[in-house]
């Protein structure tokens, strides 16, 4: 079970976007995520008339390493570490380390 999933709200804990929040759009391999609004880069795109795409300079979200993001805890309004716990029925769930609250409700 992974500690981060697509759709989770995360906070950047280091780098140029430190403190910014965003939603995970996709997972890149085992150790990187693409977060909406974080680690933006300006890319020069060539026009493609076959796909009706204009050219120009485009802002694109680039992958960021998972060690540089932490899950956002709505109860404390801060970034928080995540652990994995096995319930009595054998089901695995993620929980916040600070208050023990289950992430997957």
Q: Give me the tens of pLDDT residue by residue for the chain, a chain 105 residues long.
A: 789 999 999 999 999 999 999 999 999 999 999 999 999 999 999 999 999 989 999 999 999 999 999 999 999 999 999 999 999 999 999 999 998 889 875
Contact 31, 65 (CB under 8 A): yes
pTM greater than the 0.85 cutoff: no
Among 41, 33, 40, smallest CA distance to 63 is for: 33
Q: Could you give the CA distance from residue 28 to residue 81 in angstroms, rounded to a whole number?
A: 20
């Amino acid at each position: 079970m992974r500690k981060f999933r697509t759709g989770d709200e995360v906070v950047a804990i280091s780098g140029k976007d430190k403190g910014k929040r965003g939603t995970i759009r996709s997972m890149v391999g085992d150790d990187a995520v693409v977060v909406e609004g974080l680690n933006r880069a300006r890319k020069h795109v060539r026009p493609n008339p076959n796909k009706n795409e204009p050219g120009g300079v485009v802002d694109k979200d680039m992958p960021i390493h998972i060690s540089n993001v932490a899950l956002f805890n709505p109860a404390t309004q801060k970034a928080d570490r995540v652990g994995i716990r096995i319930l009595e029925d054998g089901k695995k769930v993620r929980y916040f380390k600070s208050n023990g609250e289950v992430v997957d409700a």
